[in-house]
Amino acid sequence: MARYVYDFHEGGRDMAGLLGGKGSNLAEMTRLGLPVPPGFTITTEACRAFLDTGGEPAGMAREVSAHLADVESAAGRRLGQPGDPLLLSVRSGARFSMPGMMETILDIGLNDESVLGLAKVSGSERFAWDSYRRLVQMFGSTVMGVGSSHFERALALLKEACGAPDDVHLGADDLARLVETYKDIIRTETGESFPQSPAEQLRRAVLAVFESWNGERARLYRRREHIADDLGTAVNVQRMVFGNLGSDSGSGVAFTRDPATGRPGPYGDYLPDAQGEDVVAGIRNTVPLAELERLDPRAYRELRAHMATLEQHYRDLCDIEFTIERGRLWMLQTRVGKRTAEAAFAIAAELADEGLITPDEGLARVSGEGLARLMFPRFDTSATDVALAHGLPASPGAAVGAAVFDSAEAVRRTAAGEKVVLVRQATTPDDLPGMIAAQAVLTSRGGKTSHAAVVARGMGKVCVCGAEDLSVDLEARRLIAPDGTVVEEGTVLSVDGSAGAVYPGSVPLVASAVMRFLEAGATGDAAGGPAAATETAGKETPGVVDAVARALNRADAVRRLEVRANADTPEDAVRARRFGAQGVGLCRTEHMFLGERRKLVEQMILAGTDAQRDRALAALLPLQREDFTGILEAMDGLPVTIRLLDPPLHEFLPDHTELAVRIATAQARGGLPAAHDVELLTAVTRMHEENPMLGLRGVRLGLVVPGLVAMQVRAIGEAVARRLSAGGDPKAEIMVPLVGDVRELRIVREEVRRVLAEVSQASGVRVDCPVGTMIELPRAALTAGRIAEEAEFFSFGTNDLTQTTWGFSRDDVEAEFFSAYLDKGVFPVSPFETLDRDGVGRLVDIAVAEGRATRPGLKIGVCGEHGGDPDSVHFFHTAGLDYVSCSPFRVPVARLEAGRATLEGTDASDSR
Ligand code: PEP
Ligand code: MG
């Protein structure tokens, strides 16, 4: 029979799937001999069973009782024992951390009797009644479903009646009265009494935590973080320790390194005479952790020793929650801490320097997503713009948006296309939708470990918190800066999460130090190592630039996949090369037909005779040749895959409605419409297609428009000949789009051979280009073995392959209904963003296997958008592709991820 409960002594960090992150780490700390209040963990399996059946799994209650008995006997007292009650906390803890998203219930075991016992043994009646009212409130709202506003209103009324400015000024009697009021509220709202039985409190609290897995907040968070919905949460039941027993008590959060910058050394917040929840809630402002050294040197020394133990043991940045109960330190939580992208790179490099991890482990711990974030621009404050206020730099980056003062407004304005900054005194989990919608979060209260800071960092969202100088007036929907400036809702603010500053208006942006480094073209060995990288970056943030350079160097050294760029112009090709691209994987020739040149394509389409068409094509030829020459020069020595024209021709003609209106207007004015307009309208009408994406495009164009393939191939061939004559090393490859059958490719290939032979003869230079095809239709993938008879290389066009495999119109569906699909969990992320491994991925696997069976060693790449997506890069590595090709800006990301993909399944990747 399944086992549902594990004592902290029995678990360990490798059991996170079953015990959740929190439970497995509590077990690990217990095993390390750290002072963890005793307790046990109810597994995620129990939660899943409960959510599946709606009932408590058989045997769970018995196991809970047995483990509770152990905790009781270790404590020498029973749960809720009237004279000296053992109290418990019940906390959620999923496989992946979801800060504040699920429920916590504290002080389980208090009732009308044991509250008196607690008052006696603690020596504080006020403390006992305050604990009891917290329990009734939390239990009432979380377990019994009473709206928390009922309790908040009762508390506010009481404070008003007593003339108390805040909770601290309420006495024991007041709180005792409040407990009665709370109990009445529960009775009125639910028809049930607050349960006096400690065992019942425990049982119902556990089930409520299970249920909170499916709460709205938790679901939203999971969707955003791509956490699977079927994991379930574990529940940790633990003896309560109290940080609110007076000035020799307190609670805090500590990091072994700064999670915002990665700088080594202890870092954190402490709140004397407070429960842990008060620290995170950001209600009272905390003091820096260093202050604890003065307040309680012994506890501080002990904490520092435990922090060192944990960092050595986990070989990574750890974050820790602790409580000091009357001078005694208790460790309540640890985990490998979330960090900003900047900190991730810096810490990986430093830990490798310290010898705690290998360079490969360092590489496994950074990510392409993080690198992309570091490439974002920062504010240019050189001409500053005096800051409106300063707060804590809680989550780095630069963001500009209109100030809004609640979550709903943030969501509303964002949906209407506006960029917003969410301003709050402090955020709560209810603010999550607004935080997701906003460009940045700004709070006037709370430390770097407050809810706003933790959640924003997790999302990679810009955040400044604890800007105490700002007075945030939520009612009036405005804030007032220290200099008296009033910022009404809708006023634009610039928030610098790296410096912790807020500016009025929109501050201009400059490239980040990492971007400047990459732009300088310091790639791989060319970087000359970290020293050169630091120099390149200037003084701004040498640490992070150096760390990025090292990670990229390592990735380049270990990766098997080559990385090319999608580039249509010589400028893009030059930039791509600086970013480390090893060639052009896709040059979309249609992009060369825009602007003035559109007219020439128009003439080609409208041509009534062969001679007219030939003239139009002849005019296009030199322009194309110039473009190709430029790109081949920029990529000299590296492959350049040039794709023949792909889109339907009517994309080059004016819009039907526009033309019709123009003609109708001319007629309405009594004149004659322009003959050219009439001619165009006829052509547009003739060429109209209901489903142009499935119509006359790709190779089909080449087969039906006489002279088109020949013109493009001639331009490519002549460009190659020119570069060869100039002493260059051009490596052009000709790629045919949207092939579905080998015969299509055969016809085009014969034409390519014929034209290249002509070019060779005419120029006197032997021009030879491999001819390959895109695999972007299911039929192409399924007949790849035949297609490889004619194709000298394959390149997966995963944009079209996704479109045609799913039957999703790539131009429509994302805006139309993807948000509903994401909401309903059909997929966690758009298949146009991250490759759908089960469907499209299977076609890729088939095509790779069958293509190479026909033509061993067949070169295969991908040039759809997925080529720069981290998760997809890992798939392409495993699928055995030779290269990925992506937009120039994503080249560094793809290099990094290609390196990380090589480490997958090795010790390095398992190190976390
Ligand atoms: C593709 O379909 O993946 C591709 C690269 O081609 P395009 O996006 O130009 O259709
Ligand atoms: Mg395509």
**Which residue, chain included where needed, has tokens 């939708």?**
433
pLDDT at 535: 37
Q: Is the CB of residue 465 less than 8 Å from the CB of residue 443?
A: yes
pLDDT band of 912, cuts 50, 70, 90: very low
Residue nearest to atom 9 of ligand 1 (CA): 588
**Ligand 2 centre distance from Cα of residue 796 (Å):** 9
In the chain the first and final C-alpha atoms are separated, in Å, by 31
What is the CA angle 46-428-334, rounded to 5? 55
Q: Does one domain contain both 586 and 489?
A: no
| CA–CA separation, 416 and 442 (whole Å) | 21
Q: Which of 799, 806, 883, 885 to mutate to test the pocket of ligand 1 (most atoms within 8 A of CB)?
A: 799
Residue nearest to atom 4 of ligand 1 (CA): 797
Residue type, position 221, single letter: Y
Q: Does one domain contain both 598 and 583?
A: yes
HEC string for 28-88: HHHHCCCCCCCEEEECHHHHHHHHHHCCCCCCHHHHHHHHHHHHHHHHCCCECCCCCCECE
pLDDT at 542: 52
pLDDT at 44: 97
The CA–CA distances, whole Å, from 869 to 625, 691, 888 equal 32, 28, 13
Lowest mean pLDDT among 13-27, 81-95, 643-657, 785-799: 643-657
| Helical axes 60-75 vs 198-212, angle rounded to 10° | 120
Residue 529 clears pLDDT 60, i.e. is over it? no
For residue 399, report the phi and psi dihedrals to the nearest 5 degrees.
-145, 145
Q: One of 47, 769, 863, 886 is an active-site residue; which one?
A: 863
Tokens of 440: 């940045």
| Alpha-carbon 21 to chain mean position | 20
Q: Does one domain contain both 264 and 230?
A: no
147 domain residue, yes or no: yes
pLDDT at 540: 41
Q: Does one domain contain both 787 and 707?
A: yes
Residue 541 clears pLDDT 60, i.e. is over it? no
Query: Can you tell me the mean pLDDT for 762-779?
Result: 97
What is the CA angle 799-804-806, rounded to 5? 95
| CA–CA separation, 436 and 457 (whole Å) | 12
Active site residue 451: yes
Among 284, 315, 339, where does a domain finish? 339
81 vs 461: which has the higher pLDDT? 81
pLDDT at 522: 59
357 domain residue, yes or no: no
Helices vs strands, H then E, count in the chain: 37, 31
pLDDT at 526: 37
533 domain residue, yes or no: no
| CA–CA separation, 564 and 279 (whole Å) | 48
For residue 734, report the phi and psi dihedrals to the nearest 5 degrees.
-105, 125
pLDDT at 346: 96
Q: Is the CB of residue 635 less than 8 Å from the CB of residue 573?
A: yes
Residue 30 clears pLDDT 90, i.e. is over it? yes
Percent of the chain with pLDDT over 90: 71
Q: Does one domain contain both 741 and 628?
A: yes
Number of domains composing the chain: 5
| Alpha-carbon 691 to chain mean position | 34
Q: Strands 859-862 and 883-886: what pairing?
A: parallel
pLDDT band of 598, cuts 50, 70, 90: confident
pLDDT band of 525, cuts 50, 70, 90: very low
Residue 168 clears pLDDT 90, i.e. is over it? no
832 domain residue, yes or no: yes
Residue 523 clears pLDDT 50, i.e. is over it? no
pLDDT tens for residues 347-374?
999 999 999 999 999 999 999 999 988 9
Among 473, 494, 510, where does a domain finish? 510
Q: Does one domain contain both 201 and 256?
A: no
pLDDT at 531: 38
pLDDT band of 36, cuts 50, 70, 90: very high
pLDDT at 282: 64
**Ligand 1 centre distance from Cα of residue 561 (Å):** 20
pLDDT band of 438, cuts 50, 70, 90: very high
Q: Does one domain contain both 601 and 682?
A: no
Q: Does one domain contain both 273 and 335?
A: yes
pLDDT at 103: 81
CB burial of 531-565 (b: ≥16 within 10 Å; e: otherwise) equals ebbbebbeeebbbbbbbbbbbbbbbbebbebbbbb
User: What number does the ligand 1 atom closest to the CA of 803 have?
Assistant: 2
pLDDT tens for residues 702-743?
999 999 999 999 999 999 999 999 999 999 999 999 999 999
CATH number at residue 293: 3.30.470.20
User: What number does the ligand 1 atom closest to the CA of 586 have?
Assistant: 5
User: What number does the ligand 1 atom closest to the CA of 588 have?
Assistant: 9
**Ligand 2 centre distance from Cα of residue 590 (Å):** 12
**Ligand 2 centre distance from Cα of residue 531 (Å):** 42
pLDDT at 671: 87
CB burial of 489-527 (b: ≥16 within 10 Å; e: otherwise) equals bebbbbbbbbbbbbbbeebeebebbbbbbbebebbeeeb
**Among residues 912, 909, 844, 851, which one has the least CA distance to residue 872?**
844
DSSP code string of 222-263: HHHHT--TTS-EEEEEEE---S-SSTT-EEEEEEEE-TTT--
| CA–CA separation, 140 and 132 (whole Å) | 12
Q: Does one domain contain both 312 and 446?
A: no
Residue 536 clears pLDDT 60, i.e. is over it? no
**Ligand 2 centre distance from Cα of residue 799 (Å):** 6
Q: Is the CB of residue 552 less than 8 Å from the CB of residue 524?
A: yes
Q: One of 306, 451, 866, 874 is an active-site residue; which one?
A: 451
CATH number at residue 591: 3.20.20.60
Residue 528 clears pLDDT 50, i.e. is over it? no
pLDDT at 187: 97
**Ligand 1 centre distance from Cα of residue 811 (Å):** 12
Active site residue 874: no
538 domain residue, yes or no: no
537 domain residue, yes or no: no
Q: Which of 774, 835, 869, 876 to mutate to test the pocket of ligand 1 (most atoms within 8 A of CB)?
A: 774
Range of the domain at 660: 649-688
| CA–CA separation, 210 and 232 (whole Å) | 7
> Is 647's C-beta closer than 6 angstroms to any atom of ligand 1?
no
HEC string for 505-522: CCCCEECCHHHHHHHCCC
Query: Can you tell me the mean pLDDT for 577-588?
Result: 96
| CA–CA separation, 449 and 446 (whole Å) | 8
pLDDT band of 28, cuts 50, 70, 90: very high
Q: Does one domain contain both 660 and 716?
A: no
Ligand nearest to the CA of 645: 1
Residue nearest to atom 1 of ligand 1 (CA): 797
Q: Strands 440-443 and 420-424: what pairing?
A: parallel
815 domain residue, yes or no: yes
In the Cβ-directed half-sphere of 658, how many Cα atoms lie within 13 Å? 5
Q: Does one domain contain both 418 and 276?
A: no
Q: Does one domain contain both 682 and 693?
A: no
> Is 800's C-beta closer than 6 angstroms to any atom of ligand 1?
yes
- Other C-beta atoms closer than 10 Å to the C-beta of 45 total 18
Helix, strand, coil in percent for the chain, rounding step 5: 50, 15, 35
Residue 812 clears pLDDT 90, i.e. is over it? no
Look over the chain and give the mean of its residue pLDDT values, rounded to a whole number: 91
Q: Which of 641, 809, 863 to mutate to test the pocket of ligand 1 (most atoms within 8 A of CB)?
A: 863
